[in-house]
Amino acid sequence: MVKIPDHINELKSYKPGKPIPEIKAELGLEKVSVLWNNENNFGPSPKAMEMMRAAIENSHVYPDPTSKELRTAIATNEGIDVEQVVVGSGSEAILSNVFQAFFNEGDELLTSEGTFVAIYIWAKSHNVPVVKLPLTSDYRFDVEAIKASITNKTKAIYISNPNNPTGSIITKSEFESLMKAVPKEVIVIMDEAYYEFAAENQDYPSSVSYGYPNVITLRTFSKVYGIAAIRIGYAMGEPRLIEALSKVRLTFEPSNLGQAAGIGALSDLDFLKKVLDNNRTELKACGELFDRLGITYIKSFANFVTLDLGSPERVNIYSDELMKMGVFVRPLIAFGLPHCLRITIGTADEMNHFRAAFEEVHSSVFV
């Protein structure tokens, strides 16, 4: 019998929930607001769609293995050299490549509890031990604890900023303090999947702008640009680190459609403004509702808001009752926060649907 390594046997296969059409049929729902995956419910960037339609004509030809045009567009957008950019089939693919490119036996990853679950999965799949520190009482990365926990086994530090699933950030001063304490041989992975939503905040650090030689910045086109299904993300950093990541990625990754979509999305400033304006407005409206109802929530710098409902039982009641009313939200048990509930910011119509349903559930069950 073929022996499968223990660390792979210990991984749990991804088991998706019921398809939305099946849930709608079971519950007799006509209208639904899907607010559980942090997707962009405005749909794809129109300019990304336009570029993909043109690119599909050449689908018989292998894509550019260097993604030169897309990397150049990203580099120009960020004011860096093209050699500082690598692209992949989603930032999660690049995250996996980080383990292949940089970790040796005995190296450890240092991060936090209550962050993006993929980091734990990819570390486990590469047999890398993870040191997980608690979040602070206000659901933020504990920078001081991270600094104090660096050892000679620490190969990399992972920080999701803004953090998924809490929406919190580490500030400029915290990031600068962290980098002063991190040895130059330790990589700091800054996962900025929700960068565009946070960037307008003056206290938010765009990690790539500092030019630190041991920082890898991850970003994605899945969120603000609405092309999650196309799987396109990128990393930025010192050319030497980017070259190492390039060596371990798949040769023709990402696809021609992914490259075209990214180029189009970056030029779609009108769509970007529309999404960000809506997010700002709807986050504010949600905060006002939660304040009025006495609901504890975490200040968010992303396209979602997370509630602290106090217990898993309350989370399940809110989630189940909202689903019966056609509003799908995310309990956070898989993130190690079973007392929390995450709501994606959708369109104005969807958020009106959510707020009306939430208030009805709250008043009928808990008041």
**How far is it, in rounded angstroms, from Cα 61 to Cα 224?**
29
Region 127-142: mean pLDDT is 97
Report percent pLDDT > 70 for the chain. Answer: 99
Q: Does residue 133 have a pLDDT over 70?
A: yes
Question: What does pTM read for this prediction?
Answer: 0.95
Report percent pLDDT > 90 for the chain. Answer: 94
Q: Does residue 160 have a pLDDT over 70?
A: yes
Q: Does residue 175 have a pLDDT over 60?
A: yes
Backbone φ, ψ for residue 117 (5° rounding): -65, -25
- Domain layout of the chain by residue ranges: 7-36+270-365, 46-268
Topology annotation, domain 46-268: Aspartate Aminotransferase; domain 2 (3.40.640)
204-209: long-range contacts (C-beta < 8 A, 24 or more apart)? 204/161, 204/169, 204/171, 204/172, 204/301, 205/161, 205/170, 205/171, 205/172, 205/175, 205/176, 207/161, 207/175, 208/78, 208/80, 208/236, 208/237, 209/78
At residue 24 the predicted structure's pLDDT band, cuts being 50, 70 and 90, is: very high
The answer to whether residues 257 and 67 touch, using CB atoms and an 8 Å cutoff, is no
Give residue 200's pLDDT. Answer: 94
Q: Does residue 185 have a pLDDT over 70?
A: yes
* Single-letter residue type at 192: E
Give residue 367's pLDDT. Answer: 57
At residue 366 the predicted structure's pLDDT band, cuts being 50, 70 and 90, is: low
**Residue 328 β-bridge partners:** 34
State pLDDT tens for residues 57-95: 999 999 999 999 999 999 999 999 999 999 999 999 999
Region 15-44: mean pLDDT is 92
Topology annotation, domain 7-36+270-365: Aspartate Aminotransferase, domain 1 (3.90.1150)
Could you please report the per-residue DSSP string of 300-350? -SSSEEEEE-SSHHHHHHHHHHHHHTTEE-EEEGGGTEEEEEEEE---HHH
Q: Does residue 219 have a pLDDT over 80?
A: yes
